[in-house]
Chain A
Amino acid sequence: MKLFTFRGGVHPSERKERTRDLPIEPMPLPRRLYVPLQQHIGEPAVPRVSAGDRVQPGQLLGEGAGRISAPVHAPAHGRVLEVRDFASPHPAALPVATAVIEVADQQPSVCRAVEDPFRLDGDTLARRIREAGIVGMGGATFPAAVKLGMARRDRVETLIINGGECEPYLTCDDRLMRERGEEILQGIELMLRCLDAERAVIVVEDNKDAALANLRALCTEPDRIRTVSVPTRYPQGSQKQMIQSVTGREVPAGSHSTELGVVMHNVATAFAVFEALVRGKPLTSRIVTVGGGAVPRPANLEVPLGTLVSDLLRYCGVEEDDYERLLVGGPMMGQWLPHAQVPVVKGSSGIIALSEAETRVSLPQPCIRCSRCVEVCPAGLLPLELAKRIRKEDIDGAGSLGLKDCIACGSCAYVCPSKIPLVQYFHYGKGQLQARAVQARKLERTAELAASKERRVEEMEKAKAEQAARRKAEAAAKKAAAGTAPAENAPKSCAIEGD
C-alpha cells in the first residue's frame, strides 16, 4: 500500500523500553472508586444513582445528556457513598460531579450474555456503542458513537485504526495490539459493520515490530482489514497527520475527516467496542502505562476507571509524592497533574511520574529565530511569529497567522533551543480568541436586540400615529356627515392618513 508523509514532526527519545515488554496485568480493585460523570468531551452525564444505592458492575451511574455526551458505568459491585464534586485529572484539578463508590469485597463476574452482535444492524450497533459509554481512548475522549454517527452520515469508505502511539513512554496500545489482537480485530469488524464501510487500515509506527507482526498474522483478509507500518515520528498519532500518512490528503480547514471518506479510531477504542458488544461489558476499565523515571516498578495495568492515581502510584512502588512532575498521558501532549488525588478516567492512557533528571527545567531565553520550530510544525505555522504576537497581546495578529490551525502537538516547544513555552502561549492565545468570539457574539446579539427594540418602538409609534390620524379623519368625516364641512377637507385628511 502506498503511504504518504506529513510535514514537520520530531523524534523525541522514545523511552518505551522499560514498559514495552511488560504484559498487561490487572490492577486490583481499590477500596474506593471515584468515577467522574464527565470523562469525555461534551455535556456531563446526568447522575442516575444517589447516596446509599447498591451498584452492580456495569450498572449505569450517569446517563448521557445531549447530542455530544456519553454515559458512565460502575466498574465494580459496591455501594454509592455520595455523588459530589471531586478533583479531576486536569492541571487545575477542576472539580467535577463524581460518584464515590465503596467497593464490595465479593465481586461478581462482569461478563454478561449478549446476543450475537454480528447479526445486529448498523443502527443497533451504533446505539449499543453509545450506551456502553465508549469514547476516543487515545486521549481525545470524543464520544465514539457521535464520531461513528458522522461517519455513517457521510458514508465513509475507510476506517483508520490508530495504533501509532507516538508519545514517548506510553506502551498501553502496543501491549494491547500484542496481547489482544483478535479482540481488536473483532472490534474493527463490528465498527466496519456499523459504518457499512469497505475497509479498515491499522496504522502502527515502525518501532512496534511485535505488535505489527501479531496483527499482520491475524489479518487474513488484507483487502478488508490490513496493517501498515509508518515511520516513527511524532505527531504520527494525531488524526490529521495520520490521515495524511494513509491517504495523502489533508483534511480541509473547518471540515471533518468524514467528509474525505475516512474516520479514525484508536486501537483501544476498537478493543472497547469488542468488550461492549461481544462481552457485554461497558467501558469501565482501560489499559494504563505507569512509567517515568520516578516509578520503581513501571507497569501496563488494566485499571478500573475511577481508581485514584495515588493508588496506582503506590501499587507501582512510588513513595508519597516522590517525583518531580506527574503527568496524565504522554509527555508531549499530556497534562500536568498538581497532585495524585485524582481518578483515572477513560482518556488516561498513561500516568507518568518524571524524575528530576527527566524534566530539565530551564528559564526561557530570547528567541534567536533559529526557525527550528517552523521546520517541525506539522500544521505549517510560524510558531516564533505567533508567540511574538501573543506576547504583545496582538491576538488578532496571531489569529491572522493561523493560530486556530495549531494542533498543540508541542513539536515547536520540544525543539526550541531557547526553551520558550510556545504551547503555553498558544493555549493562552486561543483562549483569548475564543473569549473575543464570545464577546463579539454577545455584542452582535445585543445590537440585534437593540435594533429589534427600535423597530418595535417605531412600529408602535407608527401605529399610534395612524390611530390618531384615523380618529381625526373619523372626526372629520363625522363633521362632514353633519353636513357643515366644506368638500375639500376630505382629500386633505386622506393625505395625512397616507403619510
Chain B
Amino acid sequence: MSHTLISGPHTLARRTVSMTMAWVMLALLPATLWGLYLFGWPAINLFALTLASACLFEAGALALSGRMVRPALMDGSALLTAWLLALSLPPWAPWWVGVLGSFLAIVVGKQVFGGLGQNLFNPAMVARVALLISFPLQMTLWVGPQPLFSDSAPGFIQGLAITFGGAAVDGYSGATLLGQVKTDFTLGKGLSESLPQGVDGFALSLGLSGGSLGETSALLLLAGGVVLAIIGVIGWTIPLAVLGSVALLAATFHGLDPERYPGPAYHLLSGGLVMAAFFIATDMVTSPNTRVGQLIFGGGCGALIYVIRTWAGYPEGVAFAVLLMNALTPLLDYYLKPRIYGRLRNGDPLPKESGRKAGEGQA
C-alpha cells in the first residue's frame, strides 16, 4: 500500500457507507419485527423474498455491467432499498409483487442510472409507485393485524399458500384508515360520521390498524428515526421539515373546518408519514446537499403529502410526494450553494472594508 502517492488526511473518521446502511436498517428493525409479528407468516415470506431478490438483482446488474459484485453488494444499499420497499407493500401481497418490486427498485430505479449514488429518484418509491399504478388491486388489498400465533392468524403452511398460491383469505379489511376517511371525504361525509369515535392515537402509534408494514407503529419508527438523527446518520432538517409542514397544514385546515379536515395528530400518526420523514425523504442520494435545500425539500414533501392525502385521487401520497421532490433536488442543489469563504453569494470577493459580520448566516 505504501508506494502509491497518498495525499492527506492520513487519519479518517470511522464511519463507512456500509455502517451507515447498517445503522438505518438497525433503526428500522424494531418497527419491522413488530410489523412482521402483527401480520404473521405471509408478511415474513414477502419481506424475506423482497430482500433476497433485491440482492440477486443487484448482483446480476453489477455482473452485467462488468463491475465488482462483492464490494457493491456488501455496502448494504440494495438490502436497505428492498427493506424500505417491503415496508411499503401490503403485507399479504403475493410473491411476485415483492420480486417485481425489487426488480423495479434495483434495476430500473438504481442500476440503470449507474448504481449507488447515481439515481435521481428514490428507488424504493419508484418501485412502489410503479406497482401501485400497474397493479392497483393487489397494491390496495389491506389486511387487519392478525398477530402470529393468534387464533385468526394463518399458520406457516397457510402463509405459504397466501404468498405463493394466491389463496384468498378471510380478514381482508379492504381499506386503511386513510383510505376510509378519504372515501368518505369524497362522498361528502363529515368526519363525525366517518370517524365517530375520533382518532385513536394509541392504536395508530402502536400500529394496531390495517396498512403496510411500514405504516404500523409510528412510535417504533419514530424511536428508530430519532436515534439515527441523534447519532448523526441522518440530519434533523428533513424529518422535522416533513413533519412540521404536514402538521402546520393539518392544523390550519382543521382550524378552518374541523368537520371536513382531520387534525395534525391523525395525519402525523397515520399512514407512512413517520417512515417517510425519517427513512425515505432522508435518502442521501436523492435529497439536497445544503441545509436550506433540505428544508425546502422536506417542507415540499410534507406539503405534497398533505395535498395528495386530502384532495388527490390516492389516500396516501408519500411515494408521489417524495418522487416529485426528488425531481427538484438537482435544481435546489444548483441554486442553493453555500456561500464561499471570503466571497459574496455571487462569487465576487467580499468588499475589503465591510468584511465584518459577513461570515454568519450561510446555507
Contact = CB atoms under 8 A, between A and B. Distances in A.
Interface of A: 4, 6-7, 10, 12-13, 91-92, 168, 240, 244, 247-255, 259-260, 324-325, 327, 331-336, 338, 352, 354, 358-363, 365-371, 374, 377-382, 384-385, 401-402, 405, 410, 413-419, 421, 423-424, 427
Most A-side CB within 10 Å, residue of B1, B118, B355, B362? B355
Contacts of A168: 11
**Chain B interface residue number, banded:** 35 or more
Given A371-B290, A417-B20, A419-B16, A240 B9 contact: no
A380 B341 contact: yes
A370 B343 CA distance: 25
Given A369-B284, A405-B341, A423 B8 contact: yes
Nearest to B338: A380
A7 B7 CA distance: 23
Contacts of B13: 10, 12, 414-417
B290 A374 contact: yes
B342 A252 contact: yes
Contacts of B359: 4, 6-7, 244, 248-250
15 contacts: A6-B359, A7-B341, A12-B9, A240-B341, A250-B355, A252-B350, A260-B352, A331-B8, A332-B8, A332-B9, A336-B5, A338-B2, A370-B284, A382-B337, A385-B289
B166 interface: no
B71 interface: yes
Contacts of A360: 12
A332 B7 CA distance: 9
Given A414-B12, A418-B16, 10 more contacts: A4-B359, A7-B341, A260-B355, A359-B10, A366-B118, A369-B284, A379-B340, A413-B8, A417-B16, A418-B17
Contacts of B356: 247-249
Contacts of B117: 366-369
Nearest to B355: A249
B353 to A, nearest CB: 9
Interface string B100-125: 00000000000000011110000000
Interface of B: 1-3, 5-13, 15-17, 19-20, 71, 75, 77, 115-118, 284-290, 333, 337-343, 347, 349-352, 355-359, 362
Given A368-B116, A402-B343, A405-B341, A417 B19 contact: yes
Most A-side CB within 10 Å, residue of B6, B115, B287, B347? B6
A283 B342 CA distance: 34
Contact of A327 (B10, B342, B355, B357): B10
B361 to A, nearest CB: 10
A380 B290 CA distance: 10
Contacts of B343: 252-253, 402, 405
B318 to A, nearest CB: 21
B340 A405 contact: yes
A248 B340 contact: no
Contacts of A6: 359
